[in-house]
Amino acid sequence: METFQREMNHNREEFRRTKWAKHREQVTGLFDTVFSKQASVDKIGIIGAGNCDDLDLDHLATRCNSIYLFDIDKESMINGIKNFSESTQCKIQLVEFDVTGLGKVNFEQTLTSMLLNGEGIENVLEYLLKTNEHLSEIIHKEFAEYIGSFDVFATSAIYTQLFYNWAVDTLEKNKHNYEQMELIRIKDGFLDVRDQIVLNLQNLAFKCCTTKGFYITWTDILKMKPEYTQTTNQGINAIFSLASNVGYGAALLAIQDYMGKVDRREFSLCHWLWEFNEDKQYLTIGLLGKMKN
């Protein structure tokens, strides 16, 4: 999975940072809203930093004392922060971290071997179920030193990248070992793991905030098509209705979970169009708020 993620990070257009300028402005606006509410910001943490193309770290660095960037692909972060000033880089700490927790249980090798060898469907599903039971404990243990540490904590468009695409790709390579209904059941098992990973990440992110800290998240919720424009112009309720039919389940689960945990008095939501590349545009939701007491 780490290799899969690294390949996605490295498979990027040469001028992507320039093309993402408007998207980056929207992300920066989320942080600026928090800065307007927080008199003092010591530490900022961001999970899923990757190449840092959606982050204006020079701007963020002027408002805090330190920035912690977390990603499974440390090489991309190292290359990404080269775009920023020396004074900004001095405030940055890079932490290699797998938010799924799957690396700690040798999941990639075990599941790949099972599918390659045509392991029985019940054994595969049982393995997925048992893995699910341990993931929350694993990532909270790995992240224990950061709990309650950040005045602002953020996750960067990460929900739709977690586990599932790699798992389906691996299954596709070995689909000849299974009947069609078995493939459907395995994919359903993958969805259960994905959903648990998303919920674990949400819980972790809120816990990383100080008692007065804010949690920011932004996520792509659907790939835009011309026929969606009229609906998306009708407001957030219409957007969520559309996304429930054609959107990304991981992102919708994260948003729903977030809105159930946040104090509505400190809550803000916005949306924008993310010009990802020449062929793809994503409708993106941005959220910020505090954990309700």
Q: Concatenated DSSP letters for 195-211?
A: HHHHHHHHHHHHHHEEE
> Is the predicted pLDDT of residue 9 greater than 50, yes or no?
no
CB atoms within 10 A of CB 62: 12
* 144 sits in which H/E element: none
Pairing of strands 92-96, 66-71: parallel
Q: Record the tokens describing residue 279, joined without a space.
A: 């062929």
pLDDT of residue 14: 63
pLDDT tens by residue, 108-138: 999 999 999 999 999 999 999 999 999 999 9
Order of strands, edge to edge, in the sheet holding 66-71? 92-96, 66-71, 43-47, 150-156, 209-223, 281-289, 268-275
pLDDT of residue 20: 95
Q: Name which of 66, 63, 67 is nearest 33 in CA terms.
A: 63
> Is the predicted pLDDT of residue 17 greater than 80, yes or no?
yes
Report, as an integer, the average pLDDT of 249-271.
94
Contact of 87 with 111, CB cutoff 8 Å: no
- Amino acid of residue 291: M
Report, as an integer, the average pLDDT of 70-77.
94
Identify which has the larger pLDDT, 12 or 94. Answer: 94
pLDDT tens by residue, 39-49: 889 999 999 99
2-289: CATH homologous superfamily? Vaccinia Virus protein VP39 (3.40.50.150)
Q: Name which of 59, 63, 60, 53 is nearest 83 in CA terms.
A: 53
Q: At CA 215, angle to CA 71 and CA 39, rounded to 5?
A: 115
